[in-house]
Structures are given as C-alpha cells and as structure tokens.
A = this chain, B = another copy of it.
Amino acid sequence: MRNYKNQKKILLAVDCIIFGFDNKNLKILLIKRDFEPEKGHWSLMGGFIEPDEAIDDAANRILNDLTGLDNVYLEQLRAYGAVDRDPFERTISIGYYALIPISDKTILNKEFSAKWFNIADAPKLIFDHSTMVANAMARLRRRALGKPIGFELLPEKFTMKQLQTLYEAILGEELDKRNFINKINALDILLKTEEKDMNSSRKGSFLYTFDEVKYRRKVEEGFSFKL
C-alpha cells in the first residue's frame, strides 16, 4: 500500500446464479460457454465489469443480456479470488444470485444456449461455479428463514400448495401442511382471491397474491422462521 502508483490492475468479472421455480422444483439457469477456456461446458452466466460501471450495474447488465429482464431481484454473494480459478487469466469474480420467474414470456437470448436445470441435476460447472451455486443455495435457504420469499419466484397468483412447495424446494425438507399455513398466515402477507386454480385438483384450490406493501415491510423487518 502507501499509494496507488505501480499497483497492478486485475480482471474483474461477475457471475450470476439465476434461480427460478417451475412450481415443482427450484432451478438454475446455466449457459453453454462459447469461448475458450472450457468452451462448450456448462457455466453460470457471467461477464466482465467495465471500468466505469458499478458492480451491481454490471450484474444487472449481464442478467439482462441473457434474459431481457430488468428490475430483477439480485443480491451480491461474495467475491471469488483464488489465483488459478480461471486458468486462462487471473480473474476475480463477484457472485450474484438472482430470483426470476420461469415464464413463457421471458425470452432467453439464444446466443448463450441457456437451459434451466434442477439444482440436483445440474451438470458439472466450469471453474469454481459449482461452489458459487452451493454458496448461493445456502444463502437462499438462510434468506427464506429470515424474510418472506416467493414474490420474485412465483406467478402473480399462486396456490398455498405452490408456496409450500417453493419453501420445501429451498429448504430441502418436507413441511407439514397445516403448520405451514398457520405460519404463513401469521405473517399476514397474503391476500386470498376469490379465484380457484382448477388444474391441480378436482376440488380446486384458492389462489393467493402477495400484499406487496406488507410483504416489503416484512422483508425490511425480517423475522426468525422456524418452519
């Protein structure tokens, strides 16, 4: 240290762990890398940070490049900086995890040959990307226990079952239906609509939406959820 002169600069990248939920499983969006090294292998979506670009902006840009989406839920995980993590050239990467809905409306940029994978079925990833995914999963799990989750991952209207399945997918364990409903209701963030979803059962199940104001308030406050 002492001053800025003679300090060497380093390549800086962002890699995005993009989570989605298909009403059944938690998934991640991976791309097939089209340049060396590791060309043709599965990878997180990533890109380099420009000198005049905030890290958060770079993450948003990179995510938009792939999905066309803006205003996505995006949160920094941490920096990954082993010297040889990228064998081609020293690159430090900052991991971000994103939550997006899996929707027909979202058109993925063809250029990247992206594909959704169930977390459990994900292929081997390049570099330290598998570590990033594992870290992101742990982070998402912690987040689900301390703040409401689902707004970013579920369709606008959803059934109680879907919400429970989402929690189960994130936490990796089965939850008791009655206890789950009691706890979610205690949070007071849901609005029950008059509508029923008739696809899942003969009886049909009521659709809910999030009360966005209350939801956001709970996100701020946080809580300690024992599901």
Measured CB to CB, the nearest residue on chain B to A12 is: B10
Of B56, B90, B224, which one neighbours A52 at CB under 8 angstroms?
B90
B49–A81 CB distance below 8 A:
yes
**Copies of this polypeptide in the complex:** 2
Q: Return the CB mask of A86-110 against B: 1 if under 8 Å, else 0.
A: 0011111010000000000000000
Measured CB to CB, the nearest residue on chain B to A34 is: B2
Tell me the minimal C-beta distance from A25 to chain B in angstroms: 26
Q: Given the known A-B contacts A1-B62, A2-B35, are A7 and B48 also in contact in the complex, defined by CB atoms under 8 Å?
A: yes
Of B12, B54, B89, which one neighbours A83 at CB under 8 angstroms?
B54
A81–B52 CB distance below 8 A:
no
A92–B12 CB distance below 8 A:
yes
| Chain B hits for A2, CB < 8 A | 34-35
B9–A50 CB distance below 8 A:
no
12 contacts between A and B (CB under 8 A): A1-B62, A2-B34, A3-B36, A8-B50, A9-B10, A10-B10, A10-B49, A51-B90, A52-B90, A78-B79, A79-B94, A224-B224
